[in-house]
């Protein structure tokens, strides 16, 4: 009986492997398809759609797309948006989370509840008024205006995360700090923030890639293309020349390289961070 | 309660400073979210035409013009179709995969988890464009493969056929997002104490029964989170669908409410219609979240 049971378990395992291998293929094949075709001429993509080919091998698409996207400038724009919006997000989000976590009063509690309710407002609902607000504040076509918008959109969730994790820190720690003569600012900087490294790195990485990847906000807030980040340039370029697959393949690869590198080096942080965001929060 | 009050009195002296600490976050949220939401609801009842133009109250006129527009009803039904396809396939698929990955254990399971997770880090427009090429009628990978296998009848115009475009868009978003939800389910599964399974084994439950009577009920909180998250996510999804269906085509058959708002703003310059569709979208989001939570939380084991 034991024998047949172990056999059955083994068979189940093999079945499980097969299913997961098929799923892995469904994920991998499109990625492979893009990567392999990014190094071919347009002709080559038609002739040898799936394989490597020495005959049609070229770097030309990358060179062209680099120029067409004005890659260095667009990369700079993307980086500015990511850095500025994440800096605002972390500083204001952590400060607010700290205050809500350690001080108990009705005002802060209702602020917290309101923030939680605002987590999933669809951007379309605030798009048009935001154009009006940014125009009124003279922040259209302005790195800061767009970064403010990015920071604001991600703020409710970030405060929610920091609050949850700061509440889990034993109050005794805070009290000890007070007894030792720490003020609120010092308690925040010296005691709480060092304990929040996981949350901070999560916010940085997940919200950072979110800002990097976003199309709609730059689309709405920049009317002058000199401010456009990479993803919006790629979108504009692809909408105009969708038939140039060689350029498109190279362009998508070029715009994803930073994310790919981040993922390879920080894979654990990514997955851990996602859990931080979903379960614990 | 007494102890709590005593403890909190320790930090009470910071109450004033505490307000200063939340101020930046509150300011950003009020200026760029709360105020815009209110403004959107208000402007939907005016003939607003863009910044700088004078506008006045016109009552329900915008909504009337939306409700008499045939394409709006098509878009509304597309949106619900997408929601249904996407949320159901995604969540069933992700639960299934998470269970498989737990069964596989470390090593292979972890590898698959990372792999699955990778697509949702890519930019949505990158995913959209790549799949638009893969599904291209003439030279896309899918149709080229079908034709080379002699299965020409399966080489359909995936993104050009009115009836096909929404299901295809749903599936591509599933491809993009499954990893994210699988990881959440995976964590939910890991949190279930093995003792439940031991008891079930002692009582002679088979694999299917264990799944039905142990896994599913105990996974209910994760299911609640994921169903609500995926509903809200796909309701507002813009980048991927627009890149995939070339802006919501053919005609309005690939357009959802999220795309319609943007089309009204940037294609037709009809701010009034855009504002009222956005208002309807917010309303749908609230109603869906409310009913999903009510329905799903009831099923959770406490």
DSSP string, A77-138: HHHHHHHHHHHHHHHHHHHHHHHHHH---HHHHHHHHHHHHTTT--HHHHHHHHHHHHHHTT
pLDDT at B126: 95
User: Is pLDDT above 80 for A274?
Assistant: no
Euclidean distance between CA atoms A157 and A176, whole angstroms: 29
Nearest to B125 among A209, A231, A242 (CB): A231
Distance to chain A for B34, nearest Cα, Å: 8
| Mean pLDDT for the stretch of residues A229-253 | 91
A192-205: pLDDT as tens digits: 999 998 889 888 88
**Would you place residue A9 in the very low, low, confident or very high pLDDT band (cuts 50, 70, 90)?**
low
The CATH fold assigned to B63-299 is MetI-like fold (1.10.3720)
| Mean pLDDT for the stretch of residues A51-72 | 87
Q: Residues of A with CB below 8 A from B35's CB? A: 129, 133
Domain segments of chain B: what residues? 63-299
Give the residue from chain A lying closest to B94, CA to CA: A23
- A279 against B44, higher pLDDT: B44
CB-CB under 8 Å, B275 with A27:
no
Share of chain A above pLDDT 90, in %: 56
User: Is pLDDT above 50 for B124?
Assistant: yes
Domain segments of chain A: what residues? 2-61, 71-280
pLDDT at B129: 94
pLDDT at B231: 95
B48-103: pLDDT as tens digits: 988 888 899 999 999 999 999 999 999 999 999 999 999 999 999 999 999 999 88
Share of chain A above pLDDT 70, in %: 90
Q: Residue B221: which of A271, A278, A120 has the closest Cα?
A: A278
**Would you place residue B278 in the very low, low, confident or very high pLDDT band (cuts 50, 70, 90)?**
very high
Looking up tokens 């002699």 gives B150
pLDDT at B163: 93
Quote the crossing angle between the two packed helices A245-275 and B165-190, to the nearest 10°: 30
> Positive or negative CA dihedral for B43, B48, B52, B54?
negative
CB-CB under 8 Å, A259 with B25:
no
pLDDT at A5: 55
- B295 against B38, higher pLDDT: B38
User: Is pLDDT above 90 for A272?
Assistant: no
User: Is pLDDT above 80 for A281?
Assistant: no
**Would you place residue A12 in the very low, low, confident or very high pLDDT band (cuts 50, 70, 90)?**
low
Best residue of B5, B7, B18, B25 to probe chain A, by most A CBs closer than 10 Å: B25
User: Is pLDDT above 90 for A241?
Assistant: no
pLDDT at A75: 94
A96-119: pLDDT as tens digits: 999 999 998 899 999 999 998 898
User: Is pLDDT above 80 for A280?
Assistant: no
Residue B22: is it exposed, middle or buried by C-beta count within 10 angstroms (0-12/13-18/19+)? Answer: buried
pLDDT at B281: 96
The span from the first CA to the last CA of chain A, in angstroms, equals: 46
Euclidean distance between CA atoms B156 and B142, whole angstroms: 9
Distance to chain B for A12, nearest Cα, Å: 10
pLDDT at A140: 94
* A71-280 is a CATH 1.10.3720.10 domain: yes
B222-254: pLDDT as tens digits: 999 899 999 999 999 999 999 999 989 899 999
């Amino acid at each position: 009986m034991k024998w047949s049971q172990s056999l059955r378990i083994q068979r189940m395992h093999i079945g499980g492997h097969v299913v997961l291998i098929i799923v892995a293929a469904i994920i991998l094949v499109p990625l492979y398809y893009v990567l392999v075709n990014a190094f071919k001429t347009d002709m080559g993509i038609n002739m040898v759609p799936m394989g490597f080919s020495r005959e049609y091998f070229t770097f030309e698409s990358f060179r062209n797309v680099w120029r067409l996207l004005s890659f260095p400038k667009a990369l700079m724009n993307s980086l500015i948006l990511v850095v500025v919006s994440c800096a605002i997000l972390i500083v204001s989000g952590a400060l607010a989370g700290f205050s809500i976590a350690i001080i108990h009063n009705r005002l802060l509690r209702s602020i917290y509840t309101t923030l939680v309710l605002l987590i999933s407002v669809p951007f379309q609902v605030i798009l048009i008024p935001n154009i009006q607000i940014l125009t009124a504040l003279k922040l259209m076509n302005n790195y800061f205006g767009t970064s403010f918008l990015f920071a604001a959109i991600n703020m409710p969730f970030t405060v929610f995360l920091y609050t949850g994790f700061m509440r889990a820190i034993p109050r005794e720690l805070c009290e000890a700090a007070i007894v030792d003569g720490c003020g609120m600012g010092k308690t925040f900087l010296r005691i709480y923030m060092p304990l929040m490294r996981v949350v901070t790195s999560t916010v940085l990485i997940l919200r950072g890639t979110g800002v990097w990847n976003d199309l709609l906000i730059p689309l709405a807030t920049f009317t002058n293309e000199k401010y456009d980040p990479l993803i919006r340039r790629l979108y504009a370029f692809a909408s105009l020349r969708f038939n140039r697959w060689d350029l498109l393949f190279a362009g998508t690869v070029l715009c994803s390289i930073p994310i790919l590198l981040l993922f390879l080096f920080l894979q654990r942080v990514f997955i851990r961070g996602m859990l931080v965001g979903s379960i614990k929060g | 309660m007494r102890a709590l009050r005593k403890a909190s009195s320790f930090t009470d002296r910071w109450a004033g400073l505490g307000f200063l600490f939340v101020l930046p976050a509150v300011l950003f949220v009020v200026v760029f979210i709360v105020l815009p939401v209110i403004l959107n609801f208000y402007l939907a009842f005016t003939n607003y035409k863009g910044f700088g133009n004078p506008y006045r109250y016109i009552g329900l006129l915008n909504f009337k013009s939306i409700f008499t527009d045939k394409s709006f009803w098509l878009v509304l039904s597309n949106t619900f179709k997408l929601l249904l396809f996407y949320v159901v396939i995604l969540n069933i698929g992700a639960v299934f995969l998470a269970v498989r990955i737990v069964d596989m254990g470390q090593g292979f399971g972890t590898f698959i988890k990372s792999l699955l997770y990778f697509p949702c880090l890519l930019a949505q427009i990158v995913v959209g464009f790549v799949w638009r090429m893969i599904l291209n009628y003439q030279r896309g990978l899918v149709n080229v493969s079908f034709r080379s296998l002699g299965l020409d009848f399966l080489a359909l115009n995936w993104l050009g056929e009115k009836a096909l475009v929404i299901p295809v868009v749903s599936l591509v978003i599933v491809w993009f997002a499954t990893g994210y939800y699988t990881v959440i389910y995976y964590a939910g599964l890991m949190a279930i104490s093995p003792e439940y399974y031991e008891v079930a084994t002692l009582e002679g439950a088979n694999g299917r029964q264990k799944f039905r009577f142990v896994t599913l009920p105990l996974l209910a909180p994760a299911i609640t989170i994921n169903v609500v998250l995926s509903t809200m996510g796909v309701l507002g999804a813009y980048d991927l669908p627009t890149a995939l269906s070339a802006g919501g085509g053919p005609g309005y058959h690939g357009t959802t409410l999220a795309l319609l708002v943007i089309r009204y703003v940037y294609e037709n310059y009809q701010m009034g219609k855009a504002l009222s569709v956005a208002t309807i979208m917010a309303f749908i989001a609230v109603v869906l979240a409310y009913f999903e939570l009510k329905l799903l939380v009831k099923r959770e084991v406490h």
